[in-house]
């Protein structure tokens, strides 16, 4: 009497096992994609940072440079960067970075200089969080000839911005030790906070603030900055379904009294690239 039900239940268990195996294999393959992956949870999440969102969503990676052979570089820790993200940027495992810097845990601080042994490349690593909040992209220049996130973060903190760096992304111009075209991800983006970059039109609440280091009333952005800007804006418009006419310069927002991002900002080039 028990024979038949047991046989049936065994069959169901086997099917379940096969389904689980299939799911596991699919998950492993989805993680091995070189360009992006979903739902990857690293073992080294520093709990005190409380920004687990970074690990539960899509991450886009794009190579900025590749040296002829792996080389040791020094990386200065930007606001809210983690060992996990730095490891992705250079293709070096977290444990190697820890060992090279005599770190016992995952705690690193803003401005800390880390030795990255055997960096294979530098990648811009851009996390994308599911949200319906972002309807615009507002482009800025920093108005300074040099810059990087740590410096502007402190400057904005001094100006009373509660979360420091007012933009969501900063595209470096190769000054102060940062890469030309390097995309720095602001803590505001990681925490999905409002920006502090454009009060007019309520853009701080609904606009993603992207700034390029430079004063584009005096000079043009570098070609690498423009490439990174086009890449970033394309990724963001696609992911958040933002129409091209919602990509605006700061000065084009009604009510904004500024000439930002400067008269040499290459709008034609950017608009053409976004239409493709």
Among 85, 88, 153, 250, binds Zn ion (CB under 5 A): 250
Interface with Zn ion (CB under 5 A), residue from 260, 262, 265, 270: 260
Q: Does 251 bind Zn ion (CB under 5 A)?
A: no
CA distances from 163 to 79, 80, 168, 192 (A): 10, 11, 11, 11
Residues 6+ apart with CB under 8 A from 130: 57
By CB under 5 A, which span of 51-59, 125-133, 216-224, 257-265 interacts with Zn ion? 257-265
**Among the candidate windows 93-101, 168-176, 231-239, 255-263, which touches Zn ion by CB under 5 A?**
255-263
- 90/216 with CB nearer Zn ion: 216
Instruction: Provide the angle, in degrees to the nearest 10, between the axes of the packed helices 267-275 and 223-240.
Output: 40
Window 111-170: residues binding Zn ion (CB under 5 A): 140
Q: Which is nearer to Zn ion, 60 or 236 (CB)?
A: 236
| Of residues 187 and 207, the one with the C-beta less far from Zn ion | 207
247-249 and 136-141 strand pairing? parallel
Q: What residue ranges bind Zn ion (CB under 5 A)? A: 140, 250, 260
């Amino acid at each position: 009497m028990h024979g038949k039900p047991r046989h049936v239940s065994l069959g169901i268990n086997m099917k379940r096992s096969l389904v689980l195996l299939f799911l596991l294999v699919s998950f492993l393959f989805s993680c091995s994609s070189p360009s992006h992956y979903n739902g990857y949870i690293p073992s080294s999440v520093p709990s005190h940072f409380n920004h687990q969102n970074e690990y539960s969503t899509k991450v886009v990676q794009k190579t900025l440079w590749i040296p002829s052979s792996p080389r040791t570089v020094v990386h200065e820790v930007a606001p809210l960067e983690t060992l996990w993200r730095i490891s992705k940027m250079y293709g070096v495992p977290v444990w190697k970075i820890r060992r090279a810097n005599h770190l016992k845990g995952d705690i690193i601080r803003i401005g800390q200089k880390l030795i990255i042994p055997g960096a294979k490349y530098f990648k811009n690593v851009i996390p994308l969080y599911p949200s319906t909040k972002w309807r615009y992209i507002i482009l800025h220049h920093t108005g300074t000839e040099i810059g990087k996130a740590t410096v502007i973060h402190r400057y904005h903190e001094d100006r009373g911005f509660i979360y420091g760096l007012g933009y969501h992304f900063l595209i470096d111009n190769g000054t102060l030790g940062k890469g030309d075209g390097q995309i720095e991800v602001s803590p505001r983006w990681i925490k999905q906070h409002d920006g502090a970059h454009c009060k007019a039109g309520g853009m701080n609440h609904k606009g993603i603030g992207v700034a390029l280091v430079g004063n584009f009333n005096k000079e043009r952005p570098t070609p690498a900055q423009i490439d990174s800007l086009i890449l970033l804006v394309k990724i963001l418009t696609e992911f958040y379904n933002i129409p091209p006419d919602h990509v605006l310069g700061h000065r084009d927002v009604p009510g904004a009294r500024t000439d930002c991002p400067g008269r040499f900002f290459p709008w034609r080039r950017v608009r053409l690239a976004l239409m493709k």
